[in-house]
Amino acid sequence: MLPFWIALQFLTVIPVRLSRIPSQSENAQSVLYYPFVGLFIGLILYVLSLLLNPVPHLLSASVILVIWVWLTGGLHLDGLADTADAWVGGFGNKQRTLDIMKDPSCGPIGVLSLFALCLLKFSCIYVLLEQNLGLFLLFVPMLGRIVPLILLLTTTYVREKGLARQLVDHLPRGFAWLISGMVLLSLIYWKLQGILSLLFFVGGLSYLRQIFIKRINGITGDTIGASIELLETLLLLSFSLVGFYL
């Protein structure tokens, strides 16, 4: 169970004390549990939506989004801001892009990207609550956390030293593909609306992967975090929009 606790400690602000220092293999195995941690986050959001049912949806959506950000410690939002700054400030140059990602400060493009993404997430949560589709919140963080698995399985990690380097080298690839496939197929629960949202999700993941390869020849921890946030938002947005046309 140590790999699960590693994943929970890394992906959330929930205080977890590990019984010992994990090995590189155990750290890599923890990636397999990312979707389960995402499911746990989604469960909290869904229960919260039920508890806030008597409250006006405008306020409920705000509270749910704030709790969502708090639960993750803003970990992936930080990656989004760094990636956005680097993509604009890098002027198409690989090394300059990578150097800007290392800068801990957040520029105006990074701030704007955070604002735009949170606005879209808030609006989609509001729509879900209005349509009595709060259950979909259970699926979104889970789908978002298969993104690291798929990117690590299919894309070169460009930094020689970094948090994800040992994960790439020791990741159980067979189990990773199996878990990723099962999580993706869970959207079939929502029938046509879910299947169409799945196509947007997979298409968005493929697109992000291609632009990362084109610019920096692979991925970094920041681009993985940015992908999680962007694809969660795309999933929410596509599911919400598709629902109005079916």
Q: What is the pLDDT of residues 167-206, one digit of tens each?
A: 777 889 999 999 999 999 999 999 999 999 999 999 999 9
Q: Convert 27-52 to b/e letters by CB count within 10 Å (16 or more is b).
A: bbbbbbbbbbbbbbbbebbbebbeeb
pLDDT of residue 23: 87
More confident residue, 84 or 170: 84
Does residue 17 fall inside a structural domain?
no
pLDDT, residue 159, reads 83
Separation of alpha carbons 63 and 45, rounded Å: 10
According to the model, what pLDDT value does residue 104 have? Answer: 80
pLDDT more than 90, % of the chain:
85
* The predicted structure's pLDDT at residue 24: 85
Q: How far apart are CA 149 and CA 146, in angstroms?
A: 5
**Confidence at residue 162, expressed as pLDDT on a 0 to 100 scale:** 65
**Residue 219: inside a domain, yes or no?**
yes
**Range(s) of the domain holding residue 134:** 37-243
* pLDDT of 93 above 70: yes
Residue 1: predicted pLDDT: 85
Whether residue 128 lies inside any domain: the answer is yes
219 phi and psi, to 5 degrees? -130, 165
Task: Specify the number of domains making up the chain.
Answer: 1
Residue 143 within a domain: yes
Q: Is residue 31 part of a domain?
A: no
**pTM across the whole model:** 0.96
Closest CA to 31 of 239, 192, 183, 140: 183
pLDDT at position 69 over 90: yes
What pLDDT score does 166 carry?
72
pLDDT of 99-151, one tens digit each?
999 888 888 999 999 999 999 999 999 999 999 999 999 999 999 999 999 99
The band of 163, judged by pLDDT with boundaries at 50, 70 and 90, is: low
Residue 19 resides in a domain: no
How many residues would you count in the chain? Answer: 246
